[in-house]
Structure 1
Amino acid sequence: MGKLLYSATMSLDGFIAGPGGDMGWLTRYIGPNQEAEDLVTEIGALLVGRRTFTGDDPHRGTEGEGKAFGGGWDGPQFVLSRHPPAEPVAGVTFVSDLAHGVAEAKAAAGEKSVNVLGAAVARACVDAALLDEVAVFVAPVLLGGGVRLFERPEGAPVPLERISQSAVPLATNLRFRVLR
């Protein structure tokens, strides 16, 4: 089976969403980035947090609105939530248990990766020793507040091993293996 990978674009000061979950800041940093495009081709399924699933969309007002990676990816999505919507959502399975959600997403992804979207789900995956890799695209902006890439004030440090780093005009790309 493929790996469990957390990916996000982050401001230089460590935020993946602005205050109130605002993702509008990200729009100007979506641009040519071969490493990000290559990462999308590795994905076989998504494991998404409920706040991320229902949150703001950096592709708002475009053809890519409401689509994973602005329409750059299509496939099975598993949303971790204790309160699924009353009406089914096409292509989306709601799961209430992390281990069950990871297992279902990995089965759906086959040999490809499961991409974790959402800080809370990523933290839960780290706490459960399930996360294999982290890919961060650091945008040249300081947001000053919002949702942090990773926040666990009471937790022990999580050692990482850098796999790759590169830069494009709109981001610095970093990829790490989670050491256990």
Structure 2
Amino acid sequence: MAIVELAVRRIDTREAADAVVAFLVSPQAFDDERPTPGEEEHFRTLPYLALEGKTIYWYMTDGAGEVVAVTGVAPNEQRTGGYTWDYLVVRRDYRRGGAALRLAGAMLDYLRGQGARYLVTYTCDLPVYAGVRRLFDRLGFSMNGRLPDYYFEGEDRLIYYLDLRTSGRSETQQ
């Protein structure tokens, strides 16, 4: 897949939010086949909150207009310049081609341009999430915590932090 030809867009219409939700709930989105009830709710609601300015979601489409990658952030609950990064999802047949790095780069560029102070994200410690953990490392995140049995028994939540004021340019800008 020619990732460089895929446009990165922000959700700004109901139709775009509908397409992103359809992708997030599709079998092509996640390898982990046990989403939590909260995750299932997020997949169906967070993209629509972008239309209200409560979240910011980016997505990529292929030549046929099908969504192939999605990511989103929201300001922290204190509204002090920090953001929380939820969900970086790439369709299976577009993985390992640079889509995740490109989408994350667009998000980081936007946040830095807005003067954001930091970005917090998290993932599960299951082997299926090893790729996203490598991406967090590549982007300069530090792992700052572990919550045992957070998702389900035996599935820990790993918490990552990136100081956007000192981390310099994203790898996608170099």
More helix by share: 2
Q: State if a TM-score over 0.5 links the two structures.
A: no
TM-score category by the smaller chain? 0.3 to 0.5
TM-score by length of 2: 0.35
